[in-house]
A and B are shown apart, each in its own frame.
Chain A
Amino acid sequence: MILSPRNGGILLGVVFFAAVLLVKPIGVSTQFVILDGMIWDLFAPEVVVVDETAKSGYASPNAYLDKSGGSYAKNVANPLNYSFVFVIAMMAGALVSALLRGGVGREERTMPAVWRANFGDSPAKRYAAVFVAGFIVLFGARLAGGCTSGHMMSGMMQTALSGYVFAAGAFLAAIPVALILFRKEA
């Protein structure tokens, strides 16, 4: 079952706090870059190289993987690092939780009811729209240097200016787009 906003909010807050208390603030979108780097490295091993002169010990001809002393390059070379394992565990935790509450219904698995009410039940249309949306979301998240978890939740909880700037941008776009696209309720 879905938790009430009060109980769900308390649980969410405790998890975000526990992460900072024990390790560091939660963030997810960077791991898309790390997985991209791992896939890229499979086909072009020269994309991540050992470099003793770099701060992280690794370097890359790609400026993004090479930034901050090659820290992304290092994580691509060593995927069993905290942040990447965290994301894998996050997916496992969601799966277990979903199974315990009876799983996601067959209809829902292709698209949410509110999408169906507004755009019909063509899976291809939904998949195409979501693919493009995913592209924009992750491009935006990397440009911003974080996503909903890193900037909005972790950032705002630390009273980071960047967190408020990000949240302002995100909702300024998200609410009008949703109001225009989803006029019919499911």
Chain B
Amino acid sequence: MTEMLLAIVLGAAFGATLDRIGATNPGYIIRMLNLTETHLMKTIFTGIGVASVLLFGGLLLGVVDPGHLSVKSAYAGVFIGGLLLGAGFAVAGYCPGTGLTALATGRKDALFFAIGGLCGAAAYMVSYEDFAGSAMLADIAGGKTTLGLIEGAGYPALFESLSGEILGIAVGVVFIAIGLLLPHRLTGKPRSIAAE
């Protein structure tokens, strides 16, 4: 029952946050990807950085249970799937989470994204047998690997001699710095006027 309450509170907080950072608006996502407005990119870098610093700080202080970590496997399909997701992400301006929240805010194109998404997930579901056991899904670099060794989490590390917690905080600080310092647009040209 507590878990259901947490699902509702955390889910609602996440959805409201996505809306308030502009992620439910595909315009912000597209302008991030065509590099004309980095508002959302700066937000995402800052967000990952803040989460990382809090998480690894919390682990060092013993506030966070390392058992709550959940590291996913690295395999070739992660990269290929990333390429596919990226291409669709750019066309639509939606990813799975922002597509659903955009739909909730009343965007009709997001409904078509979600239906397309259900079909795409179903297509993977029925074709999974062909992928299972293939090199595409074979673990690389130990699979569920983190950069440094995280105490008590039980995951292999890329750099075993380095403290995963300290490395995590350092990476987090770098992400925050990128988030704060990135210029507001990355294409050099001034705002162009559409000409036919």
A residues engaging B (CB < 8 A)?
1-3, 5-6, 8-26, 28-29, 32-33, 35-37, 39-40, 62-65, 67, 80, 82-83, 85-98, 101, 103-104, 108-115, 117, 123, 126-163, 165-175, 177-179, 181-186
* A173 and B84 in contact, given A8-B21, A13-B50, A123-B108 (Cβ under 8 angstroms): yes
B45 touching A9, Cβ below 8 Å: yes
Is residue B173 within 8 Å, beta carbon to beta carbon, of the partner chain?
A: no
Q: How far is the CA of A152 from the CA of B89 in the complex (A)?
A: 13
A167 touching B97, Cβ below 8 Å: no
Number of interface residues of B (CB under 8 A): 132
B14 touching A165, Cβ below 8 Å: no
Q: Which of B17, B25, B158 has the most CB of A within 10 A?
A: B17
B129 touching A63, Cβ below 8 Å: yes
Question: Across the two chains, which residue of chain B brings its CB closest to A28?
Answer: B97
Please indicate the chain A residues that have their CB under 8 angstroms from the CB of B116 in the complex.
130-135, 137-138
A-B contact count (CB 8 A): 518
Please indicate the chain A residues that have their CB under 8 angstroms from the CB of B145 in the complex.
160-162
Please indicate the chain B residues that have their CB under 8 angstroms from the CB of A185 in the complex.
31, 36, 191-192, 194
Q: How far is the CA of A186 from the CA of B69 in the complex (A)?
A: 41
B90 touching A16, Cβ below 8 Å: no
- The 7 closest A-B CB pairs, nearest first, are A9-B46, A169-B82, A13-B50, A134-B116, A144-B81, A89-B11, A140-B84
